[in-house]
Structure 1
Amino acid sequence: MTQPTLATLTEDQLADLIAEAAAYRNQPSLRTCLFPGCIKQYDAISHMDGRTPPRPEWSGAGWHILKTSSVFTDGGHLCPLHVPLVTTHMPRLVKTPSGRYTVDCACGWMPPAQRWHRLAATLWQEHLLTANGDLPPAPPTTDPKHRVPLAEHTDATLEELYDRLWDAESDGTEARDVARTSLRAYSQAVPALLGAKTSLEALRQRITLDSRDWTNDKTDAWLWAILVGANCENTDPDHTHNEDCAGDQALWDLGRQHNIPTDQVIRTGHLRWWIANAVNVAQQIEGA
């Protein structure tokens, strides 16, 4: 077939050429759901450009992307049907002290460490199928019926057992370090929190027993709202704000009274919450 020149090009040939160029430029870039056995796909290019995909079933609405920080080094894609399941079982790749890889699943599941990181990803996909009811639960690795008989052990299987023991000992050491650090932080934070509670309660008592009106002055009103609380703080679920309590609008009334900007009123409410919460936590520690 002779290629037409600019002088011999017809309108139909030009239209065909434009259509071919548009088809080449807009060809789909399909992404498949990473859930094992799922064949759903979406057109990534159309979705990013905001265009209608060539086929309705290639729509990217509701799809999610799994970041490269997961067990999949190149990331992955999730169809709307499997987003809730994977969110519940979000994986995190963990490298053990022996140089092997395992998966820290959001549900608490963690398989034996593997030499190859992609094998850990495969085990996580198998875990997904089990959680979805597509596969029966795997027997525990400590089940005597599934242990390798002593006579059948090889250098490789013994090396794997020693690696597991090494990882377990490292986990125990790490757990003790975390417990020791937590105890040290607790022993330092609790006396400071109880002392702060005593000081805040003394300030609150001093203000509430004062005879003056703490709402007349702008600075006094701010101190009152933070240290005492302008709004009702009754946490009883059956409580209904009425004329006998401060209600939930008193802080806004103080803001309007002194022409305090909205953002400062909101910040004052946050400061009051932090103080009330700190006192409440300290009271729980004292009562424990």
Structure 2
Amino acid sequence: MTGKTEARELLLDLIGAADAANRGTTPEQAVDDAIAEAILNQPSLRDCLVPGCMRQFDAMSCMAGDPPPRPSWDGKGWATLGSGSIFPAGGHICPDHKQTVTEHWPRRLKLPSDRWSVDCACGWTPTPQTWHGVLRAHWEQHLLTELGTLPPAAPIPDPEHRTPLTEHTERSLSELYDRVEDAEADRDGTLDFARTAFLLYQQAVPALLGARTALEALRTRITLDSRDWTADKVDALLYAILVGADCEDDTEGHVHNDIDCAGEQGLWNLAKQHGIPAEQTIQANQHRWWIANAIKTAKQIQEQR
């Protein structure tokens, strides 16, 4: 060992030679083993990415499923920020700030002008920057403002906070010109997006309305058919997907009661009757939701046209 050895010498003084011998070791070996075990099991602490938050958790004990060395290092309730944000290496969020960070999820944006900005989940976006490395500082300031730690910044359009024309420098004027160029690029990008969205809308709406007509006709044909669609396994699945085995009345105040509606367990009762695995039952329920939602959306579109 190098450096200070007072702690080691103190431990040696506290361990009696006789007690060590009874355990088949020596005081020196016992202290060395304890130091080696402490180094091997030292915590790997992770900090909360919110500025000023002092909470930490031990990643090693969390991954191993062991209790942390300290109760305050417990990883329960922590969340991990993925690499799709302004944090390239990700980050960690403590339970106290998980909801706030979720509401202000920061996604990095590269603008057409080769500048960078942040797309915050709350709608906030900073002034475009030439280097993406400063985005984190801008977002942290925004987050602290939302948390009430920092006072809100003065609005840019406020005349009292505008820089007088005579006080502008070449750098400040360049920033203003960059903002104008960014706005022009955003305008062109928005127009292109609007054109694309309109063309897709013109193609998707007729197809969706046609699918609604076909699905409703098929549903009517099945419901008017005289045979028992619950007797056969395949027929039961088709009925559950195309017609629906559960009650789909979503009007306010409606209560499922299995008397004047199909209730909530119709699909699962069919699955139990025919021995359908839970995975297939869940999949059938998802397929029914997509069909019902497509019909509902198509109806809303037709009413608005």
- Is the alpha carbon distance of 1:256 and 1:22 closer, same or farther for their aligned partners in structure 2, counting shifts above 3 Å? closer
Match of 1:77 in 2: 92
- Is the alpha carbon distance of 1:257 and 1:14 closer, same or farther for their aligned partners in structure 2, counting shifts above 3 Å? closer
Selected match of 1:183 from 157, 179, 198: 198
Q: In 2, Cα distance between the equivalents of 1:212 and 1:92?
A: 55
**Structure 1 position 31 matched with structure 2 position 46:** yes
- Is the alpha carbon distance of 1:56 and 1:269 closer, same or farther for their aligned partners in structure 2, counting shifts above 3 Å? closer
Name structure 1 gaps, 5 residues minimum. 1-9
Match of 2:303 in 1: 287
**Is 249-258 or 33-42 further displaced after alignment?**
249-258
Match of 1:230 in 2: 245
Name structure 2 gaps, 5 residues minimum. 1-24
**Structure 1 position 121 matched with structure 2 position 136:** yes
**Structure 1 position 160 matched with structure 2 position 175:** yes
Over residues 217-266 of structure 1, what are the superposed CA-to-partner deviations in whole Å (9 max), with x where a residue is unaligned?
55544443333333333222323334333333444444455554444444
- Is the alpha carbon distance of 1:176 and 1:259 closer, same or farther for their aligned partners in structure 2, counting shifts above 3 Å? same
Shift, 1:185, TM fit: 1.2
- Is the alpha carbon distance of 1:121 and 1:283 closer, same or farther for their aligned partners in structure 2, counting shifts above 3 Å? same
- 2:113–2:185 contact (8 Å) kept in structure 1: no
Aligned-residue CA RMSD (Å): 2.7
SS in 1 for 2:120: coil
Aligned residues: 279
- 1:91–1:104 contact (8 Å) kept in structure 2: yes
Match of 2:287 in 1: 271
Shift, 1:170, TM fit: 1.2
**Is 169-178 or 264-273 further displaced after alignment?**
264-273
Selected match of 2:120 from 86, 101, 105: 105
SS in 1 for 2:171: helix
**TM-score when scaled to structure 2?**
0.79
- 1:72–1:118 contact (8 Å) kept in structure 2: no
- Is the alpha carbon distance of 1:169 and 1:227 closer, same or farther for their aligned partners in structure 2, counting shifts above 3 Å? same
- Is the alpha carbon distance of 1:23 and 1:231 closer, same or farther for their aligned partners in structure 2, counting shifts above 3 Å? closer
Q: In 2, Cα distance between the equivalents of 1:217 and 1:48?
A: 48
- 1:97–1:166 contact (8 Å) kept in structure 2: no
SS in 2 for 1:229: coil
Matches within 5 A, 1:13-32: 13-32=28-47
Selected match of 2:189 from 165, 170, 174: 174
SS in 2 for 1:205: helix
Selected match of 1:91 from 106, 109, 112: 106
Selected match of 2:165 from 145, 150, 154: 150
**Structure 1 position 134 matched with structure 2 position 149:** yes
Q: In 2, Cα distance between the equivalents of 1:26 and 1:215?
A: 60
- Is the alpha carbon distance of 1:19 and 1:108 closer, same or farther for their aligned partners in structure 2, counting shifts above 3 Å? same
Shift, 1:144, TM fit: 1.8
Percent of aligned pairs with the same amino acid: 56
Q: In 1, Cα distance between the equivalents of 2:274 and 2:91?
A: 55
Q: In 1, Cα distance between the equivalents of 2:238 and 2:189?
A: 45
